[in-house]
Amino acid sequence: MKVGVIGSGPIGLYAAHQLVKEGHSVTLFERASAVAGNVRSWGFVRLFSQLDLNVPTAVLATLEAQGCSVPALTEFITGDDFVAKVLEPLAEWLKASGKCELKLGCEVLGIGRGRFLKSDAIAATGDKRRIGKPFRVVFRDTASGKEAAEVGFQAMVDASGSYNAATGNRVGVGGLAAPGERDAEACGKLRRIIPDVKGADQQLVAGRRVAVIGTGYSAITCLRNLCDLAKQGGQGAPSEVFWLTRSPASKMPYSIMENDPLPQRSELAKFGNQFVNTSGNAENPWGSTKFEYVPAMAITAIEQESPDGCLRLALELGEDGDKERHIEVDALVSLTGFHPDKEMWSEIQVHMCYASDGPMKLASSLLAAKLAMEGDPAAAGDCLSQAAPGPQTLLNPEPDFYVLGMKSYGRNSTFLMRVGYEQVDLLMEQLKQDGSSN
């Protein structure tokens, strides 16, 4: 059958690989001009899990059969190496298969089902007319701006992820955009994708005051890189670094897991706590750059006198926000997580979780798993303890429409690449169970 796959990252490429192996015809849509556009945006970052957790066995077998030189499975490779040594060769295999068309530079704008409106043919009322009707995909060529439509898809897979500046969570109180936030982003002083401060983006921070907001591993990776620059000294070092978090002042931002199976992750967490312990000290291990940790804060406004001027951050401090402070910075790096772009689904029937913005069946399963593990703090905080739930959790009210990968987790930040691969395997199981592969 003809299947549309949106997104040519690790999960989208694996889905296409498995579908082609089963004899299906695949059209792969990618907004970027080259495969794995999202991965390329953090290509300088080194993965903190070994390659064997990030490449499925079936893909390894395909690449080895093609004579590709794949890094050792025990290596911790960068995003750039992942693209060059795994994802690009896999895309070349897909193109050579004759069963997969790669539409690069094609942004999917919307998905429809036959001539049905969203409110038509509701399965919960016993109406089965949507089953078997072809999907229509409207997309835009990002180079020319020209829009077009393609029809005839018997199944659709959205594996486009949510790692994008447009879907980065806002920095204001309660998740809203703070007044002035849009202007700060428009002039390039607010970034939502981890910057390469030791490379292509060093001018963003060299000799400048920088604030980093967030407590995820992207945030602490950025902070560690800033500390490395400070330790080196010279003109490339930032003059001042603020780490802004919502974490209570009474506890460390990271819990350290004993015998963490991902030692690089553990080292990042330890570094974050070390940063807190040395914050504000006259002497720190990172040279003359001043570092400060600001917990229990919320940004109420971002002020800027001119596009070239500094950002003045208005903060509420404390659990009740009863204190105020203003900080002036030249750059604000917001690494506060992401939420899915649901616009392309707006005219088909997808049941969304009101809390996570993920598809409801999977969101319910993730919440149940979280509650079940609350008695085991180590398990509850460890993404490696996850496994993809059964194939039923992939189903939506819209028949034959699937959301896989990071986007399927909505705002939940515990997604692991391995789980996305397991979702693909469950998808193939579901297609066979439905008889759709015949």
pLDDT digits (tens, 9 = 90+) for 74-127: 999 999 999 999 999 999 999 999 999 999 999 999 999 999 999 999 998 999
- DSSP string covering 141-189, please? ETTT--EEEEEEESEEEE---S-SGGGBPP-BGGGSPPTTHHHHHHTTS
> What pLDDT shows up at residue 438?
44
- For residues 409 and 359, is the Cβ–Cβ distance under 8 A? no
Rounded to two decimals, the pTM is 0.93
Q: Which backbone phi and psi does 110 adopt, to 5 degrees?
A: -165, 155
**Nearest to residue 109, comparing CAs of 6, 236, 242, 214?**
6
Instruction: Please answer whether residues 89 and 36 qualify as being in contact, where contact means their C-beta atoms are separated by less than 8 angstroms.
Output: no
Question: Which DSSP symbol is given to 108?
Answer: E
In angstroms, the CA 104 to CA 142 distance is 9
Q: What single-letter amino acid sits at 264? A: Q
Q: How does pLDDT run across 388-400, given as a tens digit for each residue?
A: 567 888 999 999 9
Q: Which residue has the tokens 């390329």?
A: 40
Which residue, 353, 297, 352, is CA-closest to 327? Answer: 297
pLDDT value of position 366: 83
Element (H or E) spanning 91, and its range?
helix 88-96
73: left (phi over 0), alpha (psi -120 to 50) or beta: alpha
Please give the order of strands across the beta sheet that includes 323-329: 297-303, 311-317, 323-329
Question: In residues, how long is the chain?
Answer: 438
What is the reported pLDDT for 62? 97
The SS3 call for residue 77 is coil
**Which pLDDT value is given to residue 379?**
46
The residues, ordered by sequence, that sit 6+ positions from 186 with a Cβ below 8 Å of its Cβ are none
Query: Which residue type occupies 375?
Result: G
Most distant CA pair in the chain, distance: 70
- At residue 371, the pLDDT reads 67
Q: Using alpha carbons, select from 152, 136, 153 the residue that is nearest to residue 400.
A: 153
Strands 331-334 and 135-141: unpaired
Which pLDDT belongs to residue 321? 85
Per-residue 3-state assignment (H helix, E strand, C coil) for 321-382: CCEEEEEEECEEEECCCECCCCHHHCCCCCCECCCCCCEHHHHHHHHHHHHHCCCCHHHHCC
Give the amino acid at 79: G
Q: Which residues of the chain have pLDDT under 50?
A: 377-381, 384, 436-438
The helix (H) or strand (E) run that includes residue 102 is strand 100-104
Residue-level pLDDT at 284: 72
Token pair 């180590």 is at which residue?
A: 378
What is the structure's pLDDT at 177?
97
